[in-house]
Amino acid sequence: MAYRFQRMLELTWLRSTLLEKVMIVWGVIGTALMFVIAVAVWVTGSQWVMNVAAVLIALYAPAGFYWIYKDGLARLKRADRRQRTATEVKSE
């Protein structure tokens, strides 16, 4: 299972464009920062830390939305391709 996951990550990285690679790195860093900030807010309860968290969420949200959009677009293209293939098979 670990090999399959590693292979999937390698293929994703190798086949992605520069923008996608930037978004991947941006998302990984953002996820780590969110975890650290969540722990800091939980421990300190500081308003300053909460403000920093809000700003970082605003900065890192586009990365998540990009991947949701990209995945949805890929699913639509696959569905369209399957439907075209099914139509071609029926016409033969």
Q: Alpha-carbon distance 29 to 23, whole Å? A: 10
Domain ranges of the chain: 2-91
Of 19, 48, 52, which Cα lies nearest the Cα of 34? 52
pLDDT in tens, 1-36: 677 767 766 766 777 777 777 777 777 787 787 788
Question: 63: how many CB neighbours lie within 10 A of its CB?
Answer: 19
Cα separation values, 75 from 58, 70, 72, 81, 90, Å: 27, 9, 5, 10, 23
Q: Alpha-carbon distance 28 to 23, whole Å? A: 9
Greater pLDDT, 58 or 92: 58
pTM above 0.85, yes or no: no
pLDDT in tens, 57-81: 777 767 666 666 676 667 667 777 7
pLDDT value at residue 69: 66
| Confidence bin at 88 (pLDDT 50/70/90) | low
